[in-house]
């Protein structure tokens, strides 16, 4: 089957309607042959379709992330209160007493406040990652963020245990 240009197709229709029924077949055979030497129209180059990865963006997932952020905010507020040691804590966990009682596993008030400050920093980083998880760009980014959260949680759990930090 030969392709016709729009102008030759219109010409074909006009000539067919003006000719008697017997001459229509002859005109149809002659008109396509006359247009055959003309260059066929080239189809435009089609770019391949770019398919983006599918990411689950649903209300329950966003609510789950908001719930985790709220829980982290509570933990951050609790840990911020532990950064500054109380007078009782300073008295019971004095530097001199803590070094002597170190064989029993005691820590000084200064050390405990430093651990609390580190925990606050890790919790805030975890909160930032959850905020970024609300709008990930790809599935790889989402998996990377989940791995980062797990790493932060492991680090936070191991803050108190000096043997695990080594």
Task: Judge whether 51 lies within some domain.
Answer: no
- Which of 5-9, 94-98, 132-136 has maximum average pLDDT? 132-136
pLDDT above 70 (res 119): yes
Confidence class for position 144, pLDDT limits 50, 70, 90? very high
Is there a single domain that holds both residue 15 and residue 93? no
Count of structural domains within the chain: 2
Q: What is the pLDDT of residue 112?
A: 80
Is there a single domain that holds both residue 145 and residue 101? yes
Is there a single domain that holds both residue 109 and residue 77? yes
Residue ranges making up the domain that contains 83:
59-165
Q: How far is CA 165 from CA 102, 106, 138, 159, 160, in A?
A: 17, 17, 33, 7, 9
Segment 112-125 shows an average pLDDT of 90
pLDDT digits (tens, 9 = 90+) for 15-65: 555 545 545 555 455 555 455 555 566 666 677 888 877 766 667 888 899
Segment 116-137 shows an average pLDDT of 89
3-state secondary structure of 9: helix
Task: Judge whether 50 lies within some domain.
Answer: no
Higher-confidence residue of 107 and 150: namely 150
Is there a single domain that holds both residue 156 and residue 79? yes
Selection from 45, 119, 49 nearest residue 81 by Cα: 119
């Amino acid at each position: 089957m030969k392709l016709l240009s729009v102008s030759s197709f219109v010409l074909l229709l006009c000539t067919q309607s003006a000719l008697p029924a017997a001459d229509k077949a002859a005109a149809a055979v002659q008109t396509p042959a006359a247009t055959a030497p003309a260059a066929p129209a080239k189809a435009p180059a089609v770019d391949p379709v770019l398919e983006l990865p599918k990411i689950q963006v649903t209300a329950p997932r966003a609510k789950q992330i908001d719930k985790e952020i709220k829980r982290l905010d509570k933990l951050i507020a609790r840990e911020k209160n532990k950064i500054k040691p109380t007078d009782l804590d300073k008295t019971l966990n004095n530097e001199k007493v803590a070094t002597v009682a170190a064989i029993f596993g005691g820590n000084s008030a200064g050390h405990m406040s430093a651990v609390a400050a580190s925990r606050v920093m890790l919790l805030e980083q975890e909160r930032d990652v959850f905020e970024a998880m609300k709008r990930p760009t790809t599935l790889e980014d989402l998996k990377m963020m989940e791995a980062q959260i797990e790493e932060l949680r492991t680090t936070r759990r191991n803050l108190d245990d000096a043997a695990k930090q080594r």
